């Protein structure tokens, strides 16, 4: 966030020279927008790659493809012997097997 605040400060300093040209509402809008950008830039010391990886792992960009019923039956299309192992397992173990296979 500190890096984002520095960016906002630089932009506001550049706009300060053109203050007479900008209407009050436009300045307030820019200020609010820049503060929001600064607030969403990520943790202190986080590189762009780390931020990108964190967002890919934590933010839903699309709705889920599978509902719970589909997810629960997914093991039935696995290749043998994994399918047999899943068939003999309880639901919680099958769920963990699916997470290990697809999300791990």
What pTM was estimated for this model as a whole? 0.40
The phi-psi region of residue 45 (left if phi > 0; otherwise alpha if psi is between -120 and 50; otherwise beta) is left
Q: What pLDDT was estimated at residue 18? A: 61
Quickly state the pLDDT bin for 47 (edges 50, 70, 90): very high
Q: Which residues 6+ apart lie within 8 Å of 5 measured at CB?
A: 38
- Looking at per-residue confidence, does 44 or 92 come out higher? 92
């Amino acid at each position: 966030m500190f890096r984002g605040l520095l960016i906002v400060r630089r932009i506001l300093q550049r706009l300060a020279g053109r203050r007479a040209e900008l209407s009050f509402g436009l300045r307030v809008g820019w200020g609010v927008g820049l503060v929001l950008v600064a607030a969403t830039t990520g943790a202190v010391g986080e590189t762009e790659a780390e931020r990108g990886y964190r967002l890919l792992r934590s933010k839903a960009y699309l709705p889920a493809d599978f509902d719970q019923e589909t997810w629960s039956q997914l093991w039935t299309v696995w290749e043998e012997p994994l399918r047999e192992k899943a068939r003999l397992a309880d639901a919680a173990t099958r769920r963990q097997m699916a997470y290990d296979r697809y999300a791990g």
